[in-house]
Amino acid sequence: MNISPHSAKLLEVIRLGHPTLRDVAEPVPEDWFSSARLMDLGRDMIRTMIEENGVGLAAPQVAESLRLFAYWVPETEDEAEIPPTVLVNPEIRPIGEDFEEGWEGCLSIPGLRGLVPRHRRIKVKARRVDGEPVSLTADGFQARVIQHEHDHLDGVVFLDRMTNIHSLAFEPEWERYILADESDDP
Ligand code: NI
């Protein structure tokens, strides 16, 4: 499957307060796989995610109450990039009992960052837009992104998952006071 962000449309990202963000999204029907409608939506979501500088975007965030999301993981010192991917009708289950706190933001809640506990490792089963089954194990940041996006399919946002609302910060202040402080640590 060839996903070219250049032929895709930029979609409007809805923000917290729009009722669709709080709905439980519907599964993508079986006869939609490989359709132009679903393939185009996937492409448009990838383009929108990249142009908005996000690492994930769920269909409800573009006012489509359907169970699919796009995500990608930038290259780090330890891990290779996971290129932009669309997962349809995903099901996730945790592996083990380990939780990990990490910083999250959301294109539907612009400008804010907060610490969110997530399962450290998960198993994911889903389909591609062409219907091909996908099965993967994710940990660390990838597991975090997938859990965040999967939550959107159930009308849940990262604020709902925060166990300590005191960590909530605006991005410039987060970068100045928190990120800088963390990178000072050995
Ligand atoms: Ni989000």
Q: What pLDDT digit, counting tens, does each position of 116-155 carry?
A: 999 999 999 999 999 999 999 999 999 999 999 999 999 9
Ion ligand 1 neighbours, Cβ < 5 Å: 106
Model pLDDT, residue 7: 82
Q: How confident is the model at residue 6 (pLDDT cuts 50, 70, 90)?
A: low
* pLDDT (mean) for 154-179: 96
Burial of 112 (0-12, 13-18, 19+ CB in 10 A): middle
Reduce the secondary structure of 67-106 to three states and give it as a string: CEEEEEECCCCCCCCEEEEEEEEEEEEECCCCEEEEEECC
Amino acid at 158: F
How far apart, in whole angstroms, are the C-alpha atoms of residue 20 and residue 68? 14
Known catalytic residue at 75: no
Name the percent of the chain in helix, strand, coil, to the closest 5: 35, 30, 35
How far apart, in whole angstroms, are the C-alpha atoms of residue 99 and residue 127? 26
Q: pLDDT digits over 61-118, tens only? A: 999 999 999 999 999 888 899 999 999 999 999 999 999 999 999 999 999 999 999 9
Q: In the CATH scheme, what is the code of domain 19-184?
A: 3.90.45.10
What are phi and psi for residue 104, nearest 5 degrees?
-135, 155
Choose, from 30, 149, 171, 175, the residue flagged as catalytic. Answer: 149
Say what the pTM is: 0.94
Residue 17: left if φ>0, alpha if ψ -120 to 50, beta else—which one? left
Residue 22: left if φ>0, alpha if ψ -120 to 50, beta else—which one? alpha
Domain ranges for the chain: 19-184
* CA 164–ligand 1 middle distance (angstroms): 18
* CA 149–ligand 1 middle distance (angstroms): 6
Q: For tokens 């963000």, what's the residue?
A: 21
* CA 24–ligand 1 middle distance (angstroms): 15
How far apart, in whole angstroms, are the C-alpha atoms of residue 174 and residue 114? 9
Residue 23: left if φ>0, alpha if ψ -120 to 50, beta else—which one? beta
Q: Are 132 and 156 in contact (CB under 8 A)?
A: no
* CA 167–ligand 1 middle distance (angstroms): 17
Model pLDDT, residue 95: 98
Q: pLDDT digits over 25-51, tens only? A: 999 999 999 999 999 999 999 999 999
How far apart, in whole angstroms, are the C-alpha atoms of residue 178 and residue 164? 15
Cα dihedral 145, 30, 61, 177 in deg (nearest 10): 0
